[in-house]
Chain A
């Protein structure tokens, strides 16, 4: 679905006369391959290059060096631009940059309309997308009068209505409440499992990543770790060195382990923790 080959990208800052003032290497020889139907999470410090990477997948940015293929199409092929954007739909980090319609339902319908979808089907898709993100009640409101989290939901609905084969979510839950966050991740997971949509999720919430098939960790423009959530979250100290963390349950288990309580590394959920802790206690009683 997505493949990058030695992808590097430089942001070039110029002064008024056009002279180069500084160059920031935001991506540095990134090689990533995402298969259709994968659910991949991307973690990394602020400024590590996550959004820059995401923008390459939607052909918003072009590689300085190397190449990016979406469904086999090189993103530099201008004839394929529309095809690429139809395949890979992106929810931006700041929903304000994404929301264009003056009322919510128009905004959500804008994407499918641009794809030339028949009107009747557009409305069906809009209804369904708004329902999925819990914003039906606000369909006739103006997006710029919504709260931060509500805007984020509308932006997500807008991408869902385009039914892309691949959805790229750049910090989709940054402004959501805990239940809303869980719902967005659940929705992404459902799209992935039931409709086979490829999902690329960028987030700073460690507990959202445990649903992913694979986690990619970026640091200073490079991919520095790759693995299943359990593999990644077993490396507590190493993650900290990349300015990251582990879910709170994982941190609790790690702390107890340090204090001599035998819990396996990489515990990911509350339920798992409770089972393992009780197992550790009963093993004791068995000994006594």
Chain B
């Protein structure tokens, strides 16, 4: 599914003295099947932006098109949109409300009118894929550790098998192995089913490792867009708006500046290790 933002502005409490623009004239095209990384300082408007993609928030001005249709148009079914555009919230607590983990994960599929068998199958499959074992399926979501809650919230959205998967800082609070597992899982789902994925993240390393294209927000605007290598070439600009580049990118840029013959744009450990090992061996 493609998503288009056409001159979208969003003001919280529009028309009051508390009015606050959180999106300013956003123009974006997200193509079917892309894996997008959305980065920006806290308060830059990322969560506001993604909540426009499934109609949870409506533009104050401008239009959001999903698959060519204006989602605020007359007669457009937001309910059906929300089962196709799955959103994992920034705070998993906001998503968990049932009395058991299993019921929580079944909630989405239940609302889609599936058979009980299919609902259960999907819930078990989703829980297994996020690494929540049978010992926890009857537990109350409120009795889980922070990282466990996060996994359950992700499972709840996966169980709906959405066409667009939006994750708002899904790895915040996960241990490093869990972070790799969840992002690895999302990559696998993306590759196997070709769904569109939008990953909001404060981890430059994760974005560098997983996404095809980065969208950078600053103060309610999109200020930069492009493949990770291109975006992370702007180290100083990113720092000035609260962001950074992966440590390995910093190293390769620094070494280049010191006059060493290395590519300045390595963005993963693998790339940087290949470059730096090759240089060492050349001098050998």
Chain B residues with CB below 8 A from A245, complex form: 176-177
Tell me, yes or no, whether B162 is within 8 Å of chain A by CB: no
Give Cα distance in the complex from A147 to B125, angstroms: 33
A177 touches B145 (CB 8 A): no
Give Cα distance in the complex from A273 to B266, angstroms: 15
Of A171, A179, A244, A256, most buried by chain B (CB within 10 Å of CB) is A179
Give Cα distance in the complex from A181 to B202, angstroms: 10
**Considering only CB atoms, which chain A residue lies closest to B168 in the complex?**
A148
A274 touches B269 (CB 8 A): no
Q: A94-B91, A148-B90, A252-B269 are in contact. Are A177 and B202 (CB under 8 A)?
A: yes
Nearest Cβ on chain B to A202's Cβ, whole angstroms: 10
Chain B residues with CB below 8 A from A147, complex form: 42-43, 47
Tell me, yes or no, whether A176 is within 8 Å of chain B by CB: yes
Nearest Cβ on chain B to A24's Cβ, whole angstroms: 8
Nearest Cβ on chain B to A137's Cβ, whole angstroms: 10
A-B contact count (CB 8 A): 150
Nearest Cβ on chain B to A44's Cβ, whole angstroms: 7
Chain B residues with CB below 8 A from A274, complex form: 251, 254-255, 258
Q: A206-B176, A284-B284 are in contact. Are A251 and B269 (CB under 8 A)?
A: yes
**Considering only CB atoms, which chain A residue lies closest to B205 in the complex?**
A248
Give Cα distance in the complex from A153 to B41, angstroms: 13
Chain A residues with CB below 8 A from B239, complex form: 179
Give Cα distance in the complex from A96 to B6, angstroms: 33
Give Cα distance in the complex from A147 to B23, angstroms: 13
Tell me, yes or no, whether B61 is within 8 Å of chain A by CB: no
Chain B residues with CB below 8 A from A51, complex form: 145-146
**Considering only CB atoms, which chain A residue lies closest to B20 in the complex?**
A145
Give Cα distance in the complex from A174 to B284, angstroms: 43
**Considering only CB atoms, which chain B residue lies closest to A282 in the complex?**
B283
Tell me, yes or no, whether A194 is within 8 Å of chain B by CB: no
Chain A residues with CB below 8 A from B147, complex form: 45-47
Q: A46-B174, A149-B42 are in contact. Are A278 and B202 (CB under 8 A)?
A: no
A180 touches B12 (CB 8 A): no
Chain A residues with CB below 8 A from B260, complex form: 281
A252 touches B175 (CB 8 A): no
Chain B residues with CB below 8 A from A113, complex form: none
Of A47, A176, A244, A252, most buried by chain B (CB within 10 Å of CB) is A252
Cβ-neighbour of B242 out of A45, A177, A204, A249 (below 8 A):
A177
Q: A46-B175, A284-B284 are in contact. Are A94 and B251 (CB under 8 A)?
A: no
**Considering only CB atoms, which chain B residue lies closest to A178 in the complex?**
B244
Mask for B247-266, Cβ within 8 A of A = 1, else 0? 11011001100101000000
**Considering only CB atoms, which chain B residue lies closest to A180 in the complex?**
B42
Chain B residues with CB below 8 A from A149, complex form: 41-43, 202
Mask for A149-180, Cβ within 8 A of B = 1, else 0? 11011000000000000000001001111111
A256 touches B47 (CB 8 A): no
Nearest Cβ on chain A to B220's Cβ, whole angstroms: 11
Nearest Cβ on chain B to A199's Cβ, whole angstroms: 20
Q: List the 4 closest pairs (A to B, CB-CB), nearest first.
A: A149-B42, A46-B147, A245-B176, A243-B177
Can you name 12 extra interface pairs (CB under 8 A) apart from A176-B42, A256-B277? A46-B173, A48-B175, A93-B173, A147-B47, A148-B42, A148-B47, A171-B146, A175-B42, A243-B177, A245-B177, A274-B254, A278-B255
Residues of B bordering A, CB below 8 Å:
12, 40-43, 47, 90-91, 93, 139, 143-148, 169, 172-179, 202, 204-205, 239, 242-244, 246-248, 250-251, 254-255, 258, 260, 269-270, 272-273, 276-277, 279-280, 283-284
Q: Can you list 23 pairs linking A and B with CB atoms under 8 Å apart?
A: A45-B147, A46-B146, A47-B145, A47-B148, A51-B145, A51-B146, A94-B93, A145-B12, A146-B43, A147-B47, A148-B42, A149-B42, A175-B172, A175-B202, A176-B42, A181-B202, A204-B175, A252-B269, A252-B273, A259-B277, A274-B251, A277-B255, A281-B279
